[in-house]
Structure 1
């Protein structure tokens, strides 16, 4: 099996999904002008993708477990490409909103199969490196959405305006889908398991009740219905949780595999990913507001300001996968410390001008590269291959949920502090909250490192190997 080529195919789809998650932020003004889209339509165009993406992710993972990761990936790539084309040819805001909802849903079918295939197919000696590259591709996709998206809109070589950010997926999909047919292996999964439709519907409804008000709350001034909606999510989640336990006790296969909750390293990994994505998504959002609103940069200039951070992220991501294999999770903890130093520098020097902000960003990018690519691998290390699909779906859902929640909550703090043009003060507050979240990540990784050391010692004890052997 050609592991390198297989990984490239899988990561191309993951990069594409992450790119589309972030690139619409850059294109929003152009979409507003060309389609006469109002604030509510823009919120749905930006946030609709995130909602259906997050709401469908766990079900997408379970569908992969049931019908096969290869099949779901191929159909997911094809459907995502078609949805991207529909976005690119939309003639009015309702059409674009509908296409974005479809794009998120097809991404939810495609993305969980990436991690599931890596976890189920790659041998242990290759898996850590592959999971590291998964993190690299996701991080680069996020940053490319800001930088490459701004470049595509500014140059407008083909004269397509904002449409190019969606239509660029067409050639990617036309290459990736046929290569997936040729290169991806079949994986034996639980074909005879029945899909848990009530559980899937309950999860989707609960996430909708939380994500929709989080996405629209800031722009609408947090009306009463947003709080009622989030409160209503509690009984929906409680009922869904009860149903999952009842179905599992009957011998069925619930959409949530509750056995994963007994894997402590997985739970710690989910916690670290939630904390990191809440920080990372909100940081990218509030930093854009600081650069454009506080420092007066254009959208393209703000995108370029992210470039050094992206370059350093790429370099340390590649180095980090090797360093972690040699030195273990202490490398991730060091990376979190570097990120924390960058955030601290930003808190202290945000009002001193762009050079100081750029210096802080370089530290943040360097630290993030050592952290983000490794979090997925640390979470999945003790997950059994037959749980790879649902485990990956839960992780991906946690990422999107945390990102949306981080933008909403920390964004609200930023907007409150920025009233009257105090963008620097607002950035200091939001960066301070981000720093606390990074400390949570470091603590979670330290826990998983402790468990890894215990596993190694126990294995040596069973095999009779000496510590130095």
Structure 2
């Protein structure tokens, strides 16, 4: 594949962002002891990154379209590295919360440029393979947050404690930035226009009104303000949507490119990814609770339990791109079926012990690798290069939003069922809901496959008719 060095630079940053999303879960007990952080502070340390990361993603994509993907990527990596160092140097919970919020904003500037650059630089014949590697890097970052994070904390060779999980980003950033200057190409983007400040503010406010209560609701027992906040998000989103239509009708450039709504494959891809990420994030969350709370494993032992799933995810992600190119979307449907089988095993036998759970996890990991990278590629395949930034931003926001929602809603079901120490029963309930979400993904892919076949037949018929005439 051409541009291999460029892809490695982009994926290193994407891996780093995913790693920092998950690794704090492992370090939370150490942070609590060292900084004397209370439950609310811990929630903000863990969830603050997710909030600013998700809320800024669409604006980050639009800024990339305006100022250039290369420039935004490099400044995003610099800011992310600085924020990581500030996290590692924090001496109290307030400082760590502020640094995590900054880290999320930096990630929101950096990550959309990864998908945007891939979509703009790679021709359609090579884009699928590059997006497959994107899926591999994201999956490995998620798993490494659990496994490598636990290993770093356990080894602690430098005596840094929890700080090492943030400071490790410093050498990565120092390597990625000069390589980005050298290897990343300048990409011609859309016409320059003023940033849609009201639209960006409306989207950020609406996401905040939803994501903050979703992130804090479980630990606080869902007080009244959480429901009021989520209800208030509806009129904010409606008003923002109307403003986007008005601005577009005036010839402006809204922060949401409404032309993307006409790209059927993009809409279907976003819907599939929402269902998949709601399942994936909640499954990772509830499985950690089962392993540590139900089976009594340490954080590091629980992280190691995820390792085979991560390895199989990587292998099938790499193989899946070629298989889809050869056999089509039926491969993704098979992957979804494999995930469903693993989740079904969890439903019927979560209480049969760790070896049984490991078998189920290996099935889930194998299926995930066949599904997730291909969903991303299918969503972006028909997106025009000048829309790549905003298209990637919306896609990334949908991923984070779905992940937060899945953890909150399915996590609430888990906690309710786990009262009195019934972690196995709780896992069965949550895995059952996850299974339903995976079935939605399979159905969506099957529909897209049918549409693709119909479109090909129609195109062939028109070609034959022209030849006949």
Shorter-chain-normalised TM-score: which range? over 0.9
- Which residue of structure 2 lines up, in the alignment, with residue 206 of structure 1? 206
Deviation for aligned residue 1:311: 1.0
Deviation (angstroms), 1:190 = 2.4
In 1, are the aligned partners of 2:189 and 2:385 still within 8 Å (CA)? no
Matched, 1:292 2:292: yes
CA contact (8 A) 1:16 1:169 kept: yes
- Of 250-259 and 181-190, deviating more is 181-190
Alpha-carbon displacement from aligned partner over 1:252-275 (angstroms, at most 9, x marks no partner): 000001111111111110011000
1:243 lines up with 2:243 in the alignment: yes
Gaps of 5+ in 2: none
Structure 1 residue runs of 5 or longer lacking an equivalent are: none
Q: Secondary structure at the match of 2:56?
A: helix
Supply the distance in 2 between the matched residues of 1:111 and 1:464 (Cα, whole angstroms).
44
What is the CA-CA distance between 1:383 and the residue it aligns to?
Answer: 1.2
Deviation of the 1:248 alpha carbon: 0.3
Matching residue of 2:316: 316
Q: How does 1:89-238 map to 2 (within 5 A)?
A: 89-238=89-238
RMSD: 1.4
Q: How does 1:74-93 map to 2 (within 5 A)?
A: 74-93=74-93
Secondary structure of residue in 1 paired with 2:222: coil
Q: CA deviation at 1:452?
A: 2.6
Match of 2:367 in 1: 367
Contact 1:68 1:191 in 2 (8 A): no
Matching of residues 376-415 of structure 1 within 5 Å:
376-415=376-415
Aligned-pair CA distance for 1:192: 2.0
Query: In the alignment, is the contact (CA less than 8 A) between 1:30 and 1:161 conserved in 2?
Result: yes
Q: 1:304 to 1:81 in 2, by over 3 A?
A: same
Moved more, 370-379 or 422-431: 370-379
Q: CA deviation at 1:464?
A: 5.5
C-alpha distance in 1 between matches for 2:299 and 2:13: 26
Secondary structure of 2:195's counterpart equals coil
2-structure distance, mates of 1:280, 1:390:
24
How many aligned positions are there?
A: 466
| 1:419 equivalent in structure 2 | 419
Deviations 1:346-386 (A, max 9, x none): 11111111111111111101111111111100111111111
Which residue does 1:437 correspond to in 2?
Answer: 437
Name the CA distance, whole Å, in 1 between partners of 2:205 and 2:113: 23
Greater alpha carbon shift after TM alignment, 379-388 vs 397-406: 379-388
1:347 corresponds in structure 2 to: 347
Contact 1:339 1:366 in 2 (8 A): yes
Q: In 1, distance between residues paired with 2:408 and 2:142?
A: 18
Q: 2: distance between equivalents of 1:17 and 1:83?
A: 12
Match of 1:21 in 2: 21
1:262 aligns with 262
Cα drift, residue 246 of structure 1: 0.3
Stretches of 4+ aligned residues off by more than 3 angstroms: 454-465
Q: Measure how far apart 1:314 and its partner are.
A: 1.1
What is the distance in 1 between the residues matched to 2:145 and 2:350?
24
Contact 2:313 2:365 in 1 (8 A): yes
- Residue 453 of structure 1 and its aligned partner are, at CA, apart by 2.4
What is aligned with 1:50?
50
Deviation at 1:461, TM superposition (A): 4.7
Q: Does the CA contact (< 8 Å) of 1:265 and 1:451 recur in 2?
A: no
- SS of the aligned residue for 2:350 comes to helix
1:451 Cα deviation from its structure 2 partner: 2.8
Distance in 2 (CA, whole Å) between partners of 1:385 and 1:250 is: 23
Pairwise CA distance, 1:454 = 3.3
Structure 2 CA distance for aligned equivalents of residues 454 and 153 of structure 1: 54
Cα distance in structure 1, aligned partners of 2:192 and 2:23: 39
Partner deviation per Cα, 1:230-288 (whole Å, 9 max, x = no partner): 00000100100000000000000000011111111111100110000000000000000
Contact persistence 1:67–1:191 (CA under 8 A): no
The structural deviation recorded for 1:448 is 2.0
Tell me, yes or no, if the aligned pair for 1:207 and 1:233 is still in contact at 8 Å: yes
* SS class of match (2:78): helix
The alpha-carbon distance between structure 1 residues 130 and 459, as it changes in their structure 2 partners (threshold 3 A), is: farther
